[in-house]
Amino acid sequence: MKRKTLTVGSLISKNRQMIPSEEIPKEIDVQPASIRLRQNQSYFEVVPRPHQTLLDAALEQKQFIDFKCRKGTCGRCKVRVTEGASLLHPPHEKERIKLQHSLAQEYRLACQAMIR
């Protein structure tokens, strides 16, 4: 998806007239540039790499999230996504079942969470 950055200058046409309000997009898709997460007392920042798991992207970027099985069964890779959750696909059924006891929705299994 191509993002459009709006500035005050971009809302003014070349002949210095304001663009009519009906031509201004109502919703602007602002995606965070990175995924921030927390595991235990550690904080991590991962640059999203499409079609990778959050764990694989993190490890590739030397963000050493704790993990064990990589299958979605042990739960050791559980992280709390504090920013950029929209950059991840929604959890699949196996991940949802494993996380059902987590109180907050922002918890994910890094080995199962796929980046969009």
Tokens 């696909």 locate to: 89
Separation CA 16–CA 52 (nearest Å): 45
- Positions in the binding site for ligand FES (CB under 6 A): 67-70, 72-77, 109, 111
* Min separation Cβ 69 and ligand FES, Å: 4
Q: Provide φ and ψ at 38, rounded to 5°.
A: -135, 135
Nearer to ligand FES, 77 or 87 (CB): 77
Nearer to ligand FES, 94 or 116 (CB): 94
Separation CA 7–CA 92 (nearest Å): 38
* Min separation Cβ 67 and ligand FES, Å: 4
Decide: helix, strand or coil at residue 10: helix
* Min separation Cβ 93 and ligand FES, Å: 14
Going by their DSSP bridges, the two strands 35-39 and 42-46 should be labelled as antiparallel
* Min separation Cβ 95 and ligand FES, Å: 9
Nearer to ligand FES, 49 or 70 (CB): 70
